[in-house]
């Protein structure tokens, strides 16, 4: 040891080096106290600059609009601007890498989703560890995934569709957006949970899926409820079921898949916030408190509900548990569906 501690004082171990070691020990202690004081100041004064939320999707989608809604309220609470940086890319890798390697001072947040959990199993390698390189802050909300048909489809209920699928293996075509997406994997999970042989057809986006559905190129589609809500309300398309454990608050007349005969079916989407793993816990706690307060406000709840999102804050620990569970669950779906790693 370089120094020993006696009665609360540090002194050199060897008398011959007394002056030199006393100087070095004193300097080290000064630096240590200074570093601790600086750290405490950083936590106490957080935030002292603008906060950035990195969204791994383009502008205008549910993730982006959710981040902007919550971020605007957090800016009021924290007294600093909250800006949104859209960084779309396969699997959210670019956004994740930016946040994982950012300064761990709480000023750069990642908008996580179940897509974050999917990427952990979908890609051969990632430039970050999905669990170890991030510190969870809080969930933002949950939103439903629906199984829909065209308005004049012969399938008026989920029971109708299941009966046809079981009587005609391989003949039912269900559209989703690209392979490995939340919607695509939800369709795969529905296929295996219901025990049916169906063809899952990927498209390059929600508009293409809806066009194919309404044009009769596919028999049904699995899509996030929010983007197709207005078309359901206009009776342009028909919702057979939502895939979560409970009915959608925004459209409570749509039954769940479980209610309609598919036991154990549970697929819903979610968004959350996380920061770089080495961010001090007191800063994470401050961000968690601001997020929770924002989500509890009536105007934020309403704006999110209009998007089909049910506002729901959590502790960092619960978000960590959710992320781990989702990585395991979607990894199993990917393996069962023999989806090749990218």
Which residue in 37, 65, 19, 136 sits closest to 303, CA to CA? 65
Q: Does residue 342 belong to any structural domain of this protein?
A: no
How do residues 185-197 score in pLDDT, each as one tens digit?
Answer: 999 999 999 999 9
Whether 264 is in a domain gets the answer: no
Among 251, 226, 249, which residue's Cα sits nearest to residue 240? 251
Residue 18 lies in a domain: yes
Do 205 and 190 share a structural domain? yes
Residue 231 vs residue 88, higher pLDDT: 231
What digits encode the pLDDT tens for the residues 113-165?
989 999 999 999 999 999 999 999 999 999 999 999 999 999 999 999 999 99
Statement to judge: residues 17 and 155 lie in one domain: no
- Whether residue 133 sits in one domain with residue 58: yes
Flag whether pLDDT at 12 surpasses 50. no
In a domain, 203, yes or no: yes
113 and 187 share one domain:
no
Token reading at 199 = 């063809």
Average pLDDT over residues 45-74: 93
Residue 80 domain boundaries:
51-143+269-336
197: CB partners within 8 A, 6+ apart: 165, 169, 170, 191
Residue 249 belongs to a domain? no
Do residues 32 and 61 both lie within one domain?
no
Do 235 and 153 reside in the same domain of the chain? Answer: yes
- The answer as to whether 247 is a domain residue is no
129 three-state secondary structure: coil
Q: In the prediction, which pLDDT does 204 show?
A: 84
> Are residues 128 and 60 located together in one domain of the fold?
yes
The more confident residue out of 125 and 22 is: 125
Do 57 and 28 share a structural domain?
no
The number of folded domains in the chain is: 3
**What share of the chain has pLDDT > 90, as a percent?**
74
Residue in 229, 242, 298, 260 with CA at minimum distance from that of residue 62:
229
Q: Is 319 part of any domain?
A: yes
pTM (two decimals): 0.80
The answer on 56 and 13 residing in a single domain is: no
Dump pLDDT digits (tens) for 206-226. Answer: 889 999 999 999 999 999 998
State the Cα–Cα distance between residues 309 and 110, nearest whole angstrom: 18
């Amino acid at each position: 040891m370089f120094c020993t501690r006696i009665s609360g004082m540090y002194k050199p171990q060897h008398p011959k080096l007394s002056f030199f070691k006393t100087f070095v020990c004193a300097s080290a202690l000064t630096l240590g106290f200074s570093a601790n004081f600086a750290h405490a100041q950083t936590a106490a004064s957080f935030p002292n600059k603008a906060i950035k939320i990195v969204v791994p999707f383009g502008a205008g989608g549910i993730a982006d609009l959710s981040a902007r809604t919550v971020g605007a309220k957090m800016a009021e609470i924290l007294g600093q601007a909250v800006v949104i940086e859209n960084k779309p890319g396969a699997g959210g890798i670019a956004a994740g890498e930016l946040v994982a390697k950012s300064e761990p001072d709480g000023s750069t947040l990642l908008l996580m989703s179940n897509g974050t959990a999917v990427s952990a199993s979908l890609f051969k390698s990632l430039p970050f560890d999905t669990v170890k390189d991030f510190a969870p802050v809080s969930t933002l909300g949950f939103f439903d995934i629906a199984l829909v048909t065209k308005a004049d489809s012969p399938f008026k209920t989920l029971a109708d569709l299941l009966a046809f699928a079981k009587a005609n293996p391989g003949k039912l075509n269900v559209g989703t957006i690209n392979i490995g997406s939340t919607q695509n994997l939800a369709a795969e999970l529905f296929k295996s949970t219901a025990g049916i042989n169906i063809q899952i057809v990927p498209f390059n986006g929600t508009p293409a899926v809806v066009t194919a559905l309404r044009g009769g190129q596919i028999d049904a589609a699995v899509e996030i409820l929010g983007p197709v809500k207005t078309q359901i309300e206009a009776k342009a398309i028909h919702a057979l079921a939502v895939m979560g454990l409970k009915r959608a608050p925004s459209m409570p007349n749509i039954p769940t898949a479980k209610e309609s005969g598919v036991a154990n079916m549970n697929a819903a989407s979610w968004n959350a916030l996380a920061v770089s793993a080495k961010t001090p816990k007191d800063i994470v706690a401050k961000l968690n408190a601001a997020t929770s307060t924002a989500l509890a406000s009536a105007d934020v709840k309403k704006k999110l509900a209009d998007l089909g999102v049910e506002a729901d804050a959590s502790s960092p620990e619960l978000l960590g548990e959710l992320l781990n569970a989702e990585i395991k669950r979607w990894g199993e779906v990917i393996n069962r569906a023999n989806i090749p790693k990218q």
